[in-house]
Amino acid sequence: MGSYMGYIIITGLFSLVGMFLSNRLKAKFKHYSQVPMSSGRSGREIAQAMLDYYGIHDVKIEEGQGFLSDHYNPLTKTVKLSPNVYRDRSVAAAAVAAHECGHAVQHANAYVWLKLRSAIVPVVNLAAKAQQFLLLFALGAFGVNGGSTMMLITMVTFGVTALFSLITLPVEFDASRRALAWLEESSAAKGAEYAGAKDALWWAAMTYVSAALSALVMFLYFLLRYQAMSRR
């Protein structure tokens, strides 16, 4: 039962940190959504301009669903922009649209970290699905003692998700770097607009940092639990 409580405490602490960063990001996005771009271009137009700038003509830009659901799909070569980003003509929309196109530029340039992240996605999805079942046995939450073998399997699945989270960091930071470089070089964002885009993307990056730290701590937790059980 002690291991179960330890797990709850760790996940609880990182959940609070994650909630704070998520709320902060939403507040920043709301603020910069009210700051119009002097160019008057929408998020979709910003995305198209960035793709054209880098000579990328095989990537589609589509309107997605959900708040801050923006992403780039390397399998379909599609930039999906949430309705607010796709339609708005704000600093927030420009920052997010440029960031997602940063991933498209990474793909076009065969950026090694993006290739690695994409390659391990199937394994990560499998590990994430297995974790919810493995935890019941590894932690003995319902009075079941799964033993060191079950703890080992659980540790490996958390190791996979931690690795994915760590690989995601250079991918996201580099996409923001590319986005900001283009916004500046093309004069798509100037002065306060550029500063606002940089601020918004920094807070977005912090949510990935928090997720990576959380995943790493959970992996180390199960690693220590496994080592303790193996010495018995």
Tens digit of each residue's pLDDT (9 = 90 or more) over 174-190: 999 999 999 999 999 99
- For residue 71 the two structure tokens come to 């992403």
Which residue is catalytic, options 62, 63, 100, 172?
100
Q: Dihedrals φ, ψ of 72, to 5°? A: -115, 130
Structure confidence at residue 32 as a pLDDT band (50, 70, 90): very high
Task: List the domain range (segments joined by +) for residue 42.
Answer: 2-230
Q: Does the annotation mark 172 as catalytic?
A: no
Asked whether residue 4 carries a pLDDT value surpassing 70, the answer given is no
- For residue 188 the two structure tokens come to 């798509």
Structure confidence at residue 143 as a pLDDT band (50, 70, 90): very low
The total domain count for the chain is 1
CB atoms within 10 A of CB 105: 25
- For residue 224 the two structure tokens come to 């220590």
Asked whether residue 142 carries a pLDDT value surpassing 50, the answer given is no
Structure confidence at residue 205 as a pLDDT band (50, 70, 90): very high
**Tokens 């399997």 identify what position?**
153
The pTM for the full model equals 0.88
